């Protein structure tokens, strides 16, 4: 770091951080991060308010190592994301601060100038508070925090809605969270602001590693922010996950900012990058073997729910284009069975659903399979390596009198060969469900 008196009434500092500019900007503007690095050695912070906008206020207390509290109030003047901040420190000593963030191709140069009302005030602050050394130490704390944190980016061959869903649905998270060989016998994952997290990760040797946490931001389908801890609180991390569309793919970035790491957390900290790499591999596998499709219908949700759950209505529209339902027996309750036959190209194709969860008029979860006329599970009549059973989740959401139906379909207890067949069949699934949705659309229009 280079520190110089650029003028008699100024203190200036410049440092290059080995981190992208967007991340360094957040470290300066997000109170969840600032609280952990701001101030000289031995200081801690209590942030009461941090409203980073022109005219916004930052009020905080710096707690000195000798127990002295230093009240601070800042009023922001310029906020130009992610390149420039300026503010006035109004609580005394009064000064104006100017912080510039320069992108250096994956690294970031930060320059800070503190401009005082007079050279006398500047010198008194240096002598009384050790401002030059304090600024050095503050910048060093940020350097240390960034050095033990990580940023990873990966592109998934899946639409953003599906990748975001895989992050917010606990039944998905339980399948892919953690390094290779880990399972998650307990996976509580409430993806909402303030929602709780508790995952018990079971290692290959049977050891349980608890991971509690909490969600702070959930902006579908763009962004998640949550905190997590491990090793009995020895390691604490703030995680920011962003999702960006890249054509039909999804570019996802993980920022894991370590805000606490004691000596007991060394093994976890040392393995964090590799652990995340293996976790994202498992996520890629999960989304590769999940089919997702949505359609919005010009009908209220209660009407669509009835069409989806009442036997006489199902018989009028369910199935790919060109098919008709010739048999239907529906026991609509958890554990109940819907057994049906579709006639297609002169052939009767039997199938059945076993209901797992029914939440009118919002959600159906069921196990789907091909069957014989007696209701026994059979293989796909035209694809013997198709999974014998699949897990299907249907959700209905209403907005403005219209209903969006989303179907998620995944192999259940499948072999690797069956999972591969499923992943390779997404195009035909899309065609079949699109035709089925067309028939539902036409049916709803006729009965409206």
Cα separation, 112 vs 384, in Å, equals: 67
Whether 154 and 132 map to the same domain: the answer is: no
Q: Which of 287, 315, 345 is the last residue of a domain?
A: 287
Q: Decide: helix, strand or coil at residue 32.
A: helix
Per-residue confidence in pLDDT tens, the chain, 448 aa: 444 444 789 999 999 999 999 999 999 999 999 999 999 999 999 999 999 999 999 999 999 999 999 999 999 999 999 999 999 999 989 999 999 999 999 999 999 999 999 999 999 999 999 999 999 999 999 999 999 999 999 999 999 999 999 999 999 999 999 999 999 999 999 999 999 999 999 999 999 999 999 999 999 999 999 999 999 999 999 999 999 999 999 999 999 999 999 999 999 999 999 999 999 999 999 999 999 999 999 999 999 999 999 999 999 999 988 899 999 999 999 999 999 999 988 889 999 999 999 999 999 999 999 999 999 999 999 999 999 999 999 999 999 999 999 999 999 999 999 999 999 999 999 999 999 999 999 999 999 7
Domain range for 115 is: 2-147
The conformational region for residue 247 under phi > 0 = left, psi -120 to 50 = alpha, else beta, is left
Report helix angle 21-29 to 131-147, nearest 10: 120
Whether 28 and 131 map to the same domain: the answer is: yes
Whether 85 and 193 map to the same domain: the answer is: no
Report helix angle 131-147 to 119-129, nearest 10: 60
Please name which of 44, 239, 24 lies closest in space to residue 139, comparing C-alpha atoms: 24
Whether 403 and 316 map to the same domain: the answer is: yes
Please name which of 172, 198, 176 lies closest in space to residue 186, comparing C-alpha atoms: 198
Whether 305 and 442 map to the same domain: the answer is: yes
Where are the strands (E) in 247-389, listed by range? 249-261, 291-297, 324-330, 337-344, 347-359, 363-371, 377-378
Q: Which of 120, 147, 174 is the last residue of a domain?
A: 147
Strand partners, 213: 197, 228
Strand partners, 45: 62
Strand partners, 258: 237
CATH number at residue 173: 3.30.530.20
Asked if residues 211 and 233 have their Cβ atoms less than 8 Å apart, the reply is no
Whose tokens are 């869903």? That residue is 165
Whether 110 and 22 map to the same domain: the answer is: yes
Instruction: Spell 261-280 as b/e; 16+ CB within 10 A means b.
Output: beeebeebbeebeebbebbb
Q: Which of 260, 287, 314 is the last residue of a domain?
A: 287
* CA-based end-to-end distance of the chain: 71
DSSP 79-115: EETTTEEEEEE-SSS-EEEEEEEEE-SSSEEEEEEEE
Q: What's the DSSP call for residue 296?
A: E
Cα separation, 361 vs 67, in Å, equals: 58
Asked if residues 320 and 344 have their Cβ atoms less than 8 Å apart, the reply is yes
Cα separation, 440 vs 295, in Å, equals: 10
Whether 229 and 108 map to the same domain: the answer is: no
Strand partners, 119: none
Whose tokens are 């991060």? That residue is 33
Whether 124 and 100 map to the same domain: the answer is: yes
Number of domains present in the structure of the chain: 3
42 is written with which tokens?
Answer: 């031995």
Cα separation, 153 vs 146, in Å, equals: 16
Whether 13 and 100 map to the same domain: the answer is: yes
Cα separation, 80 vs 203, in Å, equals: 46
Whether 308 and 373 map to the same domain: the answer is: yes
Cα separation, 359 vs 368, in Å, equals: 18
Q: What is the pLDDT of residue 52?
A: 98
Whether 7 and 64 map to the same domain: the answer is: yes
Whether 380 and 238 map to the same domain: the answer is: no
Asked if residues 209 and 203 have their Cβ atoms less than 8 Å apart, the reply is yes
Torsion angles phi and psi, residue 148, rounded to 5 = -95, 5
Please name which of 227, 217, 214, 223 lies closest in space to residue 253, comparing C-alpha atoms: 223
Q: What is the pLDDT of residue 234?
A: 96
Q: What is the pLDDT of residue 2?
A: 45
């Amino acid at each position: 770091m280079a520190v110089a008196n650029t003028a008699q009434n100024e203190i200036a500092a410049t440092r290059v951080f080995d981190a992208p500019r967007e991340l360094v900007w957040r470290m300066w503007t997000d109170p969840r991060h600032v609280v952990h690095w701001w101030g000289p050695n031995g200081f801690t912070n209590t942030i009461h308010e941090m409203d980073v906008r022109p005219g916004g206020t930052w009020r905080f207390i710096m707690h000195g190592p000798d127990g002295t509290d230093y009240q601070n109030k800042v009023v922001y003047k310029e906020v130009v994301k992610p390149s420039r901040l300026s503010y006035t420190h109004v609580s005394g000593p009064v000064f104006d601060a100017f912080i510039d963030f320069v992108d250096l191709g994956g690294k970031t140069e930060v320059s800070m100038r503190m401009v005082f009302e007079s050279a006398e005030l500047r010198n008194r602050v240096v002598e009384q508070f050790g401002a030059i050394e304090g600024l050095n130490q503050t910048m060093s704390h940020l350097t240390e925090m960034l050095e033990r944190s990580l940023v990873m980016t990966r592109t998934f061959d899946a639409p953003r809605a599906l990748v975001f869903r895989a992050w917010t649905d606990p039944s998905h998270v339980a399948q892919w969270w953690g390094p290779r060989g880990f399972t998650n016998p307990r996976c509580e994952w409430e993806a909402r602001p303030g929602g709780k997290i508790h995952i018990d990760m079971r290692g290959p040797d049977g050891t349980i590693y608890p991971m509690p946490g909490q969600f702070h931001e959930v902006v579908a389908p763009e962004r998640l922010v949550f905190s997590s801890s491990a090793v009995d609180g020895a390691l604490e991390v703030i995680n920011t996950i962003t999702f960006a569309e890249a054509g039909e793919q999804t570019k996802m970035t993980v920022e894991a900012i370590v805000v606490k790491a004691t000596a007991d957390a060394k093994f976890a900290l040392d393995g964090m990058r590799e652990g995340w790499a293996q976790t994202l591999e498992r996520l890629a596998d999960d989304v590769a073997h999940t089919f997702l499709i949505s359609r919005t219908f010009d009908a209220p949700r209660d009407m669509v729910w009835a069409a989806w759950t009442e036997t006489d209505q199902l018989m009028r529209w369910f199935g790919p284009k060109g098919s008709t339902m010739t048999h239907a027996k529906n026991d609509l309750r958890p554990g109940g069975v819907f057994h049906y036959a579709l006639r297609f190209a002169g052939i009767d194709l039997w199938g059945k659903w076993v209901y797992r969860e029914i939440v009118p008029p919002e959600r159906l979860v069921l196990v789907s399979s091909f069957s014989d006329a007696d209701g026994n599970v059979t293989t796909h009549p035209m694809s013997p390596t198709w999974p014998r059973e699949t897990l299907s989740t249907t959700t209905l959401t209403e907005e403005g009198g219209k209903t969006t139906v989303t179907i998620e379909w995944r192999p259940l207890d499948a072999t690797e060969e069956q999972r591969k067949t499923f992943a390779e069949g997404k195009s035909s699934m899309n065609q079949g469900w699109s035709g089925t949705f067309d028939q539902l659309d036409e049916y709803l229009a006729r009965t409206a």
